[in-house]
Structures are given as structure tokens and as C-alpha cells.
Structure 1
Amino acid sequence: MSGIHLHPHDMLDEGPAAILELIGTMGPVRYLLPELNTIFERNPYPAGVLPHNPKRGVVQGTGTFHVPLDTKELFPGLYQTVDPSVENGQDPLGLLLEATRETEYEVVPWVNLLNGRFEGNMADNGVVDFRGRTIEHWLCPNGRDVVELWTNVLAAVSDKYGCTTFLLDRLRFPDWAGERVDPSGLFTCFCERCRSGLAARGLEADAVREEMEQVAGLLRDKSYDQAVSLLLGSQTLQAWVGFKQDSVSAFIEKLVASLRRRNPAIVCWLDLWPPSYSWILGQDYTRLTKQSPALKHFPYHKLGGGADVQGLIDSFASEPEESERAFRAFQRLFAMDYPITYESFRRDGFPIEFVGIENDKVRALSQPGTHIFSGVQMWNLTPQELSLALGKARESAADDVLFYCYGWAGRELFEAVGSFPEERSAAQKQP
């Protein structure tokens, strides 16, 4: 059965009754995924307006925790700033759970693990780029206290509300987007723990950094294809990619094991990047899906698969010819071969085939039996485009869909989902 993402401002500004009424027009939605903590983006990134919110037209994530729990008390060494609305008595998760108590909806809290406004011992838990600069608001999966932080927080949420299934998001190293476009976020992490981890693999951190400087120099010189050749052909840089993947997988393995020791009923679903991109951010589908019965990824074709492709290209290229070369190099890096120009991408995104291609890759990479939700973009497109994406998702190897997201979708998009035929593939099942 399908689901939909919700944000704290949805519950606080519109209220659960209005939310359930609008979601009711979609047909059989089973899972509601309320966000426990926000990220530093104007969601959805990079633009979006709230068409049915009675209090505001736009919202900017502030990286804060929206549950009435004192994260500092739960783990003083590393904690997330609690949102001021909580101090004023607001409890968006509690509101939604109360409203759905006598319904068939299942509430699956959605939590961002490694990106937010964190405080405490950031020196032993933060992310450092290849030039020694701290990447703001990011925790390293190799951080000393990150597993213990989230074990304490998620166990406390489960104890307080009775939730036992969580969707884990932001389980990766930084990409190039966020509050601003910064490609150096990709070239991480060089904190002390990561430097030690690289050395344990026979990699000298300074040698890795030197090759990254070569890539950066080629990009500055607008030698985009040569930069991609170095990234893909360097044994050192490919070993660094493997280190990132091992780091993220080990983090999730430790967290899942720690949560099971605390409460064996807790189950973790994963929110991953589409596989064409996920490898460079540290996400290894094959290993990660050994820890989770279900995952969602987001082949949003009109938004470049969730990546700020336009922001990245525009950060390197200013002239049309440069932009086209950079876009071709981008497609080569991520093993894409779509016969489109950069200008057509800016207008229309990737071809609709992107949805099925990425879902089929997820199925091939994931452990047998993994329940795969295809993320479906539900904003900044027409009802016809939404129906086309939904159809491609349902034709693919995915089991069902999760819509992103409630707050930015106009009523006509909810109605488009509701009018879509209910045929499902034989592979579709409940997680």
C-alpha cells in the first residue's frame, strides 16, 4: 500500500483533520510518514509553495527536532536543537497519532540522521572536506557518538508514542546541495576517524586529497570530461568511494543492532538516493538492504532524481556551450545516456523512462524480498505528468509508491492520484 510524506508544519498549520480529508481523495493510502526533524532546505528543494497551508506560503527547514523530548538529556555528548514550537507545547507527531488512532493508517516516523542542527561534541562527530573545512550541520557516519545518539532518541520516541517502524533518511555523506550549492561536500570525509579508517585500508588521506585537488583543478579549467575520467579511473579515488560505502553500511549495521538490543520490536526502513547517484554518497544497496525489509528511493524525473543537477552544472559553467559539456560529463559520471540537452533538462527534467530504469536498478541491487517503494514527485508538475510518473512507477520492479509530499501538492494532484487505476503488479505486497 502506498504512503505520503508529511512535515511538522503540515500538522501544526493545517491540522490532522484537514490532512486526512485531502489524503482521503487519493484512494488507498496506508502509510503516513511524518518528519521528526527538519533539514536545512527550503523544501522541496530548490523551490516550492504551500498551496493549501492557511498560515504561510513557503517554509525553510531549520534542522531542528520537532518531538517533545529533550535530546540533550537523552545524550548530553551530542544532541539536536529542539524546535521552539516544541517549547510552546506543540507536538505534531502526537497530533497525527491521536487523529489516526481509530483508522487504518499506519504512522511511520521519518527521521533525518546525519543532517541537522546538532550541538555538543562536533569535533569528534562532524564532517570535514578535503581542504580541512567543516561541512556545517552534517554528522559523519564514523562519528564517535552518532550511533548512541540515535539509539537513545529513537528508543525514546518508540517508548513515548509506541511507534516501532522508522524511515531512516540522510544516511550518507553530503552531496553538493543544501542551503547553498557546494560541490566540495562530495569530497568528504577527512575527520580524524575517517583518516584512520582510510589508513586501515592502505590509503593515505593526503594522497586521496591530492587527487581530489586534481579533479577540482580540472573542473575549474572547465575540463569536465577529464575530471570525470580521473574520478572513474583512479584506483585511489575508487577506493575512497568504497570506504564511504563501507562507512555508511557499518553505521546502519551498528545502529540497527543497537536499536534491536534496546527494543527488539523496532524495524528500520531506509530512504536512499536513486542508485545512479547513491554510490558516490556512500550508499551500497546490496549491503544496506541486509538490515532493512523496506526502502524508498526517489526517481523524481522532473527534479533530476532528487539531485540539484541544475545547481551543480550552473556552479561550474556560465556559457551555454560549457553547460552542455558539463551536463554530458555529469551523465557519464552517473552512467546515464539520455539523448537530451541541458536546456531540455532544465525545462523538463530527465525523460520519464528514468523512473522505471532507476526502480529496476534498485530491484537488481537489493536483497531478495526487499519491499521497494518508488518515490513519486508530487509538486511542481501537472496532474498529467504526475499520472505518467505514477504509471511508470507501477509498471516497474517497485512494489508500490511513496509520495513526496503533502504540503506542496495542490488539490488537483491529490485528485489525479485518486483517479488513477488501481491495478497493481503481481510483485506488489505489504512490507
Structure 2
Amino acid sequence: MDATHPRLTPEQALQFAPDDSAAQNARKLAKPGQWQHLRINQTVLWGEIQGSAVYRAAFDLDALSFKCSCPSRKQPCKHGLALVLSYAQSFALFEPAEPSGWVAEWLEKRQAAADKKQARAEDPAKTVDAAAQAKRVAAREKKVAGGLQELQLWLDDLARGGLAHARTLARSHFDHMAGRLVDAQAPGLAAAVQELSSALRVAHWQQAATMALGRLALLAESYGRQDSLPDGLKADIRALTGWPVAQEEVLAAPPLADDWLVLAHRDEDLETGNGRYRRQWLWGRTSGRGALLLSFAFGNQNLIPPYPAGMTLPARLCFYPSATPQRALVRDTDIPAMRPLTGAIGYHSLDEALDAQAAQLALNPLLTEMPWLLAGVTVLRDGHDWRLRDRDGRTVPLRVHDGWALLALSGGHPLQVFGEWDGRELRLLNAWNGEEFL
């Protein structure tokens, strides 16, 4: 096998699984002798497996995309996942070959779709009726302004009564205000009202509710003064209020080329209850900055497979306008690669990470989460809680699903960890000790 092919570990292959049942079934189908006609070239691997029929599966090594002839609606299905798992476990079984037949046809369709997408991105923007667009924007601005006026009166009443009194109010009190903001086409403000409602009902509600209320009030006040603010912060305020940014606009911005290390992802349910979304974090090996990729699936749709943690993705990313750009879109990529993760990237002390947070907050005081890639930290048990300690002895609270598994991974030695810092605690998303991931 050519050394340019990305090498995956079985654990990384299983990260493509849409659910636990797919992973479990894939393990059974990835056993030796299950697959026939296993082939590979520079960009794709494929093979056949006997099920209730002969199923053909393929995997694009460049785009990390799956294809299978089975009727399953999962993406990837158990056959596609088993194919990649077989590649991770026994890559020598894949014989070099050039795609033909159904594989070539699939690749041609994918290339045609990619060419069409690229042509749309490179073409000048479609002619728009500037007057009609300005009229639509003005009409929405008027609605948002009306919603903000109602919100300010609502916040004044809430402040006069105090947070202790606000905690006694029924959820319907908050739902009504959130509904009015949705009608005013300010869904971001509506979500902030619901966050305040939730914060009033947690164990340590005093701190949580104070922060949620302060953030909501700051966002509402800032929107009214947006024209006096820097462009990046203005973009943040409008996005948080609910104004959309077209992907075409983002992709038209100058890209940042780097070798992006895939750190972690987490999936969450949408607050509307009609779908799921994924937060996938990358870290530029040269730029030293984090990048957040968001993907969404609605109804019975499956989220697209994530990039496996530990993989390096040579790519050009375009960032959404912001004073502190985090969210990005992938403009184009090269073939992913596996490279050892070393302690040469990320923050080497908690002071360094906190200094970076302070600099980011100075630019955008509405920033709620910041990616932290930390090197050389150890795990501590503090009563019933977990903490991280750096080489200088400084510690921070750690939010972790299984602290004992993390401690076992470290063996008491320093680790590299990645998580989302919210100003109070670090939500752990991944950790590794050399080549071994949590």
C-alpha cells in the first residue's frame, strides 16, 4: 500500500458510526473472510460482501464519504462502516486497482456535483433586486426593534422583582416572551430568554441566572448600538440575535490554509426537538487557532459522518464574520493524513489559556465558549469532583463523563486534553496519551 493513504486505527474507523448498533454490527462484518474483491487506489477503497444479497460498498478517502448498495437509510450503514473497519484492521488485504463499473460511476457523479458546487462558488453573485432586498431588511429591522422594546420592558420588570422572585415564575412567563421574540424575527434573543429560564432552575442558580440575565441584557443593549461597534463585533451581535449569514458569503471570504488536526466532536439535540446537530473542532497546526464546524440533520436524517479524531486534514477554511472567528466552512481539502500529535501545539499552561480567553473576551464580551487544547496536564480527584492541573500547579474544574477512565488513560502522567471552556469549567471532549485516545 502506498504511504500516501491515510491510516486509520479501528477506534477512529468506528467514530464514523451513526449509532452503537451500527458499530456493533460493523465489528461482526469486519471479520476476516467476510469481504470479497477488496480494492484500493489513491482516493477510494471498495469491496463486496454477502448479506441477504451481494452488497457493494465504497469509501472515498479524500472526502471521507460512503456508498453502499444496501437499502439502509443510515449513513454510513453497517456495510460501509465494516469496510472502513476492515481497512483499519487489515489494510494489506486491499489490492491496488483502478475504479471501474459502479465505483467509477459513483466517483464521476461525485466529481460532477463537486464541479457544479465549485462553479457556483466562483461565479459572480447572482443579480439581486437591491431595492427589494433593502425593503425586506428594513421590514425585519422594524420587527426586531419592536421585539427589543418589549424585551427591555420585560427585563426591567424582571430586575425590579429580583432573581429570587423570577425563580418563582412559571415557565409560561418566559415562553411568552420568547414567542414574542420569535414573532419579531429575533430567534437568538428568544433562545437567550429560554436559557435564562433554564438557568433559574439549576442547582447553583444564583450564578447561572446572573450570567444568563447579564448576557441577555448586554445583547439587547448592544443590538441598539451596533452601528457604533467594530464590524466583527457587529457581526457577532447580529448572528446572536438571529440574522443568518449565507454560506456563499462565508465561502467568498479569504480562506485560511493549514493542516487542521481533528480534535473532537459532540452531537446534541436541537432545542426545537426536530433534529440533531454536531459540533466538530479542528486545530490549525501552524496557525494555532481553533475552528468549529457545525452540521445539522432534521427529522429522520442522519448527520454526515464526522472526521475521526487524531486525523490531520489539509484544508482551506473560511470563517464566519466575527470579532473572534470560530465557526468555519471547509472550502476544499486534500487527502487526510495521520500524523503523531505532539505537545508542540496548544496551550502549555492554564495561565496561557486564560490569557487567550481574556484577549478574546476583550474583543467579544458575548463569547460563551472557547476551545482549549492543553498539553502536559494531569487529572486530579477533588472530593466528588475532577480537576485538571498544569505544570505550574494551577487547577481548573473539569466536567467529564467518566473521570476514572480518564485517570486510567493517564496512569497518573501528564496528558493532552481538549475541551470547551465556558469561564467556569472545562467540558472535556477528548484526551490522549501518545497514540491512545480516550
**TM-score, with normalisation over the residues of structure 2?**
0.25
Structure with greater Cα Rg: 2
Higher RCO structure (Cα 8 Å, ≥6 apart): 1
More helix by share: 1
More strand by share: 2
User: TM-score scaled by structure 1?
Assistant: 0.25
